[in-house]
Amino acid sequence: MEIITIIIYIAAALEIMMGTVVLFSDPKNKVNRLFAIVSLVTAYWILTNSLISLEPNEFWVKNAYATGIILTPTILIWLNYFLNKKNTKSIVIKIITITAIILYFCSLFSDLIIKHVTVSFTGGFDGVFGPLFPLYAFHFAAVSVYILFLATRAFKNSHGVEKVQYKYIALGLYGFGLVVGTVNFILPIFGITFLIPLDSTSSIIFISAISFAILRHNLFNVKVIATELITFTLWIFILIRVLIAETLQETIIEASLLVITVIIGIFLIRSVIKEVKQREKIQKLAIDLQGANDRLKELDREKSEFVSFATHQLRAPLTAMKGYSSLILEGEMGTIPAEARTAVSRIFESTMTLASIVDDYLNVSRIELGSIRYTFETINLKDLVENVIAELKPNIDKAQNVNFKLDISDPQADYRITADKDKLKQVIANLVDNSIKYTPKGNVHVSLIYDKVRHKLVFKVQDTGIGISPEILPKLFQKWSRADNANKTNIKGTGLGLYVAKEIINAHHASIRAESPGEGKGSTFIVEVEPLAP
């Protein structure tokens, strides 16, 4: 058997296989069903061309011409549906299809296309064309050009995934046309005619390109590709053995083996495709989940922006309320009755509480938006702690049942650090003020130690207050985290202060932690920062 004949059979087998794979990938998809028909027609066209050499007679010649004229409208119908994703009532396609059907029967059952043919065993033939052959040739050429036009236009006007798919379709069509034109018209000028049987075989270029265009966005899994390649290779190997078998017994055995292998291979490919589709569904769900997560993040960001805007707008009136009430209490507005002083004092305290809450919300929104800014400078931590204690002295004095103590272990040590003074002051004030609030009766001990061995400055606030349960302790620095006993002791807390403190300390590359033996046994908050290098 000649090498060209073997190539023809392999090409036909591959086209049938690819059409089968595409069909089984999604049998309900009309694009896939139409493509399976295209692959079968092209495979039959290939076989009729090869059979002209094996069985030289007019029957196979007419079959080849008949199949060729029906191939172009078949491709056109598939391409039109693929591009439009629906059936279209195109009058052009209807005329082309009806004309092709007429020419098909004229080619197969009359002498109007091929009048008389003398076929040689080399595959060549001499003959007389019928009166409708010019119409046949014009139809074939015109429809081919129209198909190329549609594919090219679709590629130019598409975007994204569709553009990639249309690119492969256009390349397959142009490759198919180039080979057909070369072996039928260009090479014969130079006396090279033995490659003419490859004109139909070159349709494998078109079929392969379309298969890839259809499947590449669905069957991307390497397992599917590997399974198909191995299965196809095995089919082709056994097919070749069938074709080169020398005895009838060998032919029957090899043919039976081919049938069994094809059946098993189809089931194998379908099972792998089913598995991949399950993975694709999972991946789609993951993508949808990621989209929902991104949307939630966007909503959270918008929420933070709104909170930031709202709290920022609240600060101005709160500042005015705090300022005027303070002036009234200090007597700057004249003498007021005792009842009015009591009311204004409550207004002032409520304003201070609300201002603190607004600051907490504003800090949280800035942290979440990443818009919080730090101004790092060299400061003295001992001086900062002493200043905070001095500012909190009115609150300390009000806590009559609390024994407060400040202890700085070595006043002569170098307590300089690099920090944002205002924000670190906010952390220290929050920790000290919390200890006072949550210690109805007992001791609050604030200390600052220079741990020379570990090269750390250790700020510690230790109290004998309400304590922290083991369940709450790991979540203490999270947003909105508050213990039940804390809610009972101080209902005005937001559960944001320690979260903000943690974020500020992290920005200073320092550490903060809490320790407590349990509820009712007090608690200790520890901040450790790096001192300046000596």
Q: Tens digit of pLDDT for each residue in 345-379? A: 888 777 777 777 777 666 677 676 676 788 999 99
pLDDT at site 506: 92
pLDDT at site 488: 53
Mean pLDDT of 470-492: 67
Q: Indicate whether this model's pTM tops 0.75.
A: no
CA distances from 416 to 373, 386, 406, 419, 456 (A): 21, 14, 19, 9, 11
519 touches 466 (CB < 8 A): yes
Is the model's pLDDT at 458 over the cut of 90? yes
Show contacts of 380-384: CB within 8 Å, 24+ apart: 380/415, 380/416, 381/415, 381/416, 381/417, 381/419, 381/448, 381/457, 381/459, 381/529, 382/408, 382/411, 382/413, 382/415, 382/448, 383/415, 384/421, 384/424, 384/425, 384/428
Is the model's pLDDT at 462 over the cut of 90? yes
Show contacts of 299-307: CB within 8 Å, 24+ apart: 300/368, 301/368, 301/369, 304/364, 304/365, 304/368, 304/369, 305/365, 305/369, 307/361, 307/362, 307/364, 307/365
107 touches 140 (CB < 8 A): no
Most trustworthy range by pLDDT among 112-121, 125-134, 269-278, 443-452: 443-452
Output phi, psi for 301, to 5 deg: -65, -45
pLDDT tens figures, 88-97: 667 888 889 8
| Residue 511, C-beta contacts closer than 8 angstroms, at least 6 positions apart | 505, 527, 528
3-state secondary structure 229-297: HHHHHHHHHHHHHHHCCCCHHHHHHHHHHHHHHHHHHHHHHHHHHHHHHHHHHHHHHHHHHHHHHHHHH
Is the model's pLDDT at 459 over the cut of 50? yes
> For the chain, what percent of residues have pLDDT higher than 70?
80
pLDDT at site 216: 57
- For the packed helices 203-215 and 160-181, what is the interaxial angle rounded to 10 degrees? 170
Is the model's pLDDT at 100 over the cut of 70? yes
Domains of the chain: 3-218 (1.20.1070.10), 299-369 (1.10.287), 377-529 (3.30.565.10)
Three-state DSSP state, 21: helix
| Residue 158, C-beta contacts closer than 8 angstroms, at least 6 positions apart | 166
Tell me the C-alpha distance between 448 and 384, whole Å.
Answer: 11
Tell me the C-alpha distance between 76 and 144, whole Å.
Answer: 9
CA distances from 510 to 196, 376, 445, 513 (A): 81, 13, 21, 11
Reported as a pLDDT band with limits 50, 70 and 90, residue 431 is very high
Kind and range of the H or E element at 466? Answer: none
Reported as a pLDDT band with limits 50, 70 and 90, residue 529 is very high
**For residue 531, what is the DSSP state?**
P
- To the nearest whole number, what is the mean pLDDT of the chain? 80
Structure tokens at 270: 């379908």
Three-state DSSP state, 454: coil
Sign of the torsion angle spanned by Cα atoms 485, 490, 495, 500: negative
Tell me the C-alpha distance between 104 and 98, whole Å.
Answer: 10
pLDDT tens figures, 17-70: 777 777 776 778 888 888 888 888 888 888 787 676 666 667 877 888 888 889
Mean pLDDT of 302-322: 69
353 closest CA partner among 388, 390, 325, 328: 325
Tell me the C-alpha distance between 268 and 288, whole Å.
Answer: 30
pLDDT tens figures, 371-410: 678 899 999 999 999 999 998 888 888 888 899 999 998 8
